[in-house]
Amino acid sequence: MGYVHGYSAYEAGRLRNSANALSELLHAGVRYPAGALVLEAPCGVSAQTGFLVRNSPGARFICMDISTLSVAAAAQDWPGPAFLAADIYAPPFLPGAFDHVFACFVLEHLNRPAEALGNLLRVLKPGGTLTSIEGDHGSCFFHPETPEALAAWACLPKLQALLGGDSLIGRRLYSVLAGAGLDDVRVEPIRIYCDPSLPHMMKGFVEDTIVGMLRGIESEVIQRGMLDAAVFRKGVEDILAIKTHPEGAFCYTFFRAIGRKPD
């Protein structure tokens, strides 16, 4: 199965811009005690790693991703954590090796999320926590809304499904984590809202995150004939125009879930 966003320099920049714009919301309350050993899986190009390290300066981090290129880039940015290339379906660690696991924006890309979680649980200590953060592309609405913008946006969940993922997994996080065997699962919706009074969110979320994701799939959408190229491009421009529209508004919900491995 392919990974919908790919590994271009453009995508690396998008992940970093997006993480910067969302860090206060996504990382609120994510703190690990001094001495704890935390697995970040996957780390990508380390867009979240910096926030993890800064927010929990006494914790130790091991960060993995299936992409050797991403891991190499991440290791250059952050000297503290250990980075390694590894598959989330087969994390190369002893059972119970970690006090906590942090897994951000990955289950939506996997065709066997329950199996991946089972493997992360194997390397988690009894009583340790797993934090999962996922988007939900069905939670998105905006103004002005044009038919082209709706059609362009709809390509993203369709393409992700074609590649074996589920971009609507955010709303299912409770049952996905509980089904994997985690106890005390708590899910928190994290609502992103942008209007003209929040220009930094218009830039960081509408332009860098949403439009960034759409631009990243343009060639795949066109190659696969999912939408006429001109319609797709107009749709993306219409969404970008929300950023400076006097009545522009954009809403999207992420979901953050935390569960505990049974003792």
Task: List interacting residues with ligand SAM (CB under 6 A).
Answer: 3, 5, 15, 19, 42-44, 47-48, 65-67, 70, 87-89, 104-106, 109
Q: Which is closer to ligand SAM, CB of 167 or CB of 182?
A: 167
144-151: long-range contacts, CB 8 A cutoff, minimum separation 24: 144/238, 144/241, 144/242, 144/245, 144/247, 144/248, 146/234, 146/235, 146/238, 148/231, 148/232, 148/234, 148/235, 148/238, 149/235, 149/236, 149/238, 149/239, 150/235, 151/227, 151/231, 151/232, 151/235
User: Nearer Cβ to ligand SAM, position 107 or 155?
Assistant: 107
Beta strand segments in the chain, E: 37-40, 60-65, 82-85, 98-104, 124-134, 141-143, 183-194, 249-260
Residue (87 or 237) nearer to ligand SAM, CB: 87
Name which of 126 and 138 has its Cβ closer to ligand SAM: 138
Name which of 130 and 249 has its Cβ closer to ligand SAM. Answer: 130
For ligand SAM, the closer CB: 78 or 245: 78
Among the listed residues 98, 114, 106, the one whose alpha carbon sits nearest the alpha carbon of residue 132: 106
Q: How far apart are the C-alpha atoms of 64 and 67, rounded to whole Å?
A: 9
| Shortest distance, position 108 Cβ to ligand SAM, whole Å | 8
Provide the minimum distance between the beta carbon of 26 and ligand SAM in the complex, in angstroms, as a whole number.
Answer: 9
Q: For the CB of residue 208, give the shortest distance to ligand SAM in the complex, in Å.
A: 13
Question: Shortest Cβ distance from residue 161 to ligand SAM (Å)?
Answer: 16
Cβ 69 to ligand SAM shortest distance, Å: 9
- The first and second tokens of residue 247, run together, are 């009545």
Judge whether 189 and 178 are in contact, CB under 8 Å. no
For ligand SAM, give the closer residue by CB, 55 or 146: 55
Which position has the token pair 């942008």? 194
The CB-of-196 to ligand SAM minimum distance in angstroms stands at 28
* R_g of the chain computed on alpha carbons: 18
Residues 6+ apart with CB under 8 A from 141: 251
* Closest residue to ligand SAM, based on beta-carbon distance: 44
CB of 5 to ligand SAM, least distance (A): 6
